[in-house]
Structure 1
Amino acid sequence: MLVSWAGDAGRQCRGEEGERVMRRYRGSAFRQLAGIGIVLALLLLSPISPAAAAGPSDVIRGFYGVLLDTMQHAQQLGARGRYQKLEPVIFRTFDVPYMAKLSIGPGWNALTPEQKKQAAHAYGRYIAATYASRFDGYSGERLDVTGEQKIKRGTMVQSRIVKSDGEPVSINYMVHDNAVGYQIRDVYVTGTISELATKRSEFATILRTNGIDGLIASLNKKADDLRG
């Protein structure tokens, strides 16, 4: 009887111990699975910037895709609709604060944070309105990325816009990798003329005459006039 009881007690102890071990195992396994689930959820919910996920040429192809679609629906969209479609793409694809800084020149460092923010925003609006105004229709044009070349400060992406009559126009994009991924920092019209250099020359006169507030007002007015 004692042996039987001892055996039963031993089995009971082993059963209780086993149950405790299983509970600990299940708890540990649950915590591990929960941890994995949280990580997966964060990965799925975290937004991935298109610029961060693509190479320099891919950024231009993506931009051209939106630009071509805007051209093809230009009449339905109208000037304001084209602007609204392009503005968020411009701010995502172009490094607007960097471009504003270089276009304004040394005086940028003396600006307040709020002035820098306003200047960059006005500059981005102006770029978007310019594209919306220039690309106001479609008659069979092609927008092609033709290659890229690594250079000291980034990558030069070569492209061309082929007009409906077959005439190609070279447009090159200086793309650099910054905190958010690859973004455009300069545009070379006909392949060689820097937009930043041109804008810096234009802005210098306004800055000398009317200061940064005058430049911001001028850019916003031009954007408003172009978008209609």
Structure 2
Amino acid sequence: MQSINNIRAPGLRIVIIIFFSILVYPTWALSAEPSEVVDRFHEVLLSVMKTAGSTSVTARYKELKPEMEKAFNLPFMIRITVGSSWNRASEQQKSELIEAFKRMSVGTYASRFNGYSGQIFKTLKVRTGPKGTRLVDTRIENPNDDSVTITYVMGKFGDKWKIIDVLLDRGISEMAVRVSEYRSILRSRGVRALARALSKKATNLLKN
């Protein structure tokens, strides 16, 4: 499946300090463990992949959306990605950014995981990360190609663990890539332009 193989793009090293520094965690409470959150997400992702041959990208989007909203803290991710521009944005602009980022994020997975050829998701181990985070190391094993290593960075919000970044091949931070891309748009065109750009990208993803 070509789209899965392509997620290992060369680029930035792990850059997660940008949001670790502001995470605040309350007293530990009973909740799904980090690995359980990831395993559940992988179960749904695998199900989507297995039926992708007979479903549209829009159908995959609809199936993935509620699960990604459970597994990821998408509002937190876009807030940290845009940095200080978040504090200067109006409530309406913040809402537009969050919704556009959600659509783009879910659309990316719906478009990327578009088929199944025997892939297996394996959770390898859970490590302690900075500022109380957990790093869940996983691997997508491709029968006919190289395996892909994915590390999920998990933060605890209230009593729930949520994914706040995805590291490809234990080094390429998706958040870091987005910081570079999004802040360039923010500097040149502003918050509304970023929301429009994300929404346009989501729309294009859902056309494929």
SS in 2 for 1:225: helix
Whichever residue aligns with residue 198 of structure 2, its letter is L
In the TM superposition, what is the alpha-carbon distance from 1:89 to its structure 2 partner? 1.3
1:137 aligns with 2:122: no
Structure ID, larger Rg: 1
Q: Deviations over 1:36-59 (max 9, x none)?
A: xxxxxxxxxxxxxxxx74100000
Preserved CA contact (<8 Å) 2:150 2:167: yes
Report the aligned-residue RMSD. 1.3
1:108 is aligned to 2:86 = yes
Distance in 2, matches of 1:180 and 1:72, equals 32
Indicate which of 110, 115, 134 corresponds to 1:155: 134
- What residue identity is the alignment partner of 1:106? S
Q: AA paired with 1:148?
A: V
Identity %: 33
**Structure 1 moving runs of 4+ over 6 Å:** none
* Aligned with residue 220 of structure 1, among 195, 199, 202: 199
Equivalence for 1:77:
55
Report whether the alignment pairs 1:64 with 2:42.
yes
Q: Mind listing any 5+ residue stretches in structure 1 that lack a counterpart?
A: 1-51
**Could you tell me how far 1:163 is from its partner in structure 2?**
1.2
- Displacement of 1:166: 5.2
Q: Which has the higher contact order (CA 8 A, sep 6+)?
A: 2
Structure 1 residue 180: Cα displacement? 5.6
Deviation at 1:206, TM superposition (A): 1.3
SS in 2 for 1:73: helix
Give the unaligned 5+ runs of structure 2.
Answer: 1-29
Alpha-carbon distance between aligned partners in 2 of 1:149 and 1:85, rounded to the nearest angstrom: 30
Residue identity opposite 2:97 in structure 1:
A
Please identify which structure carries the higher helix content. Answer: 1
Report Cα offsets for 1:199-225 as digits up to 9, x if no partner.
Answer: 010012211222111110111111111
1:123 to 98, 101, 112: 101
Alignment counterpart, residue 204 of structure 1, candidates 183, 187, 201:
183
The question of whether the paired residues in 1 share the 8 Å contact of 2:31 and 2:159 is answered with no
Offset at residue 167 of structure 1 (A): 2.0
Q: Secondary structure at the match of 1:164?
A: coil
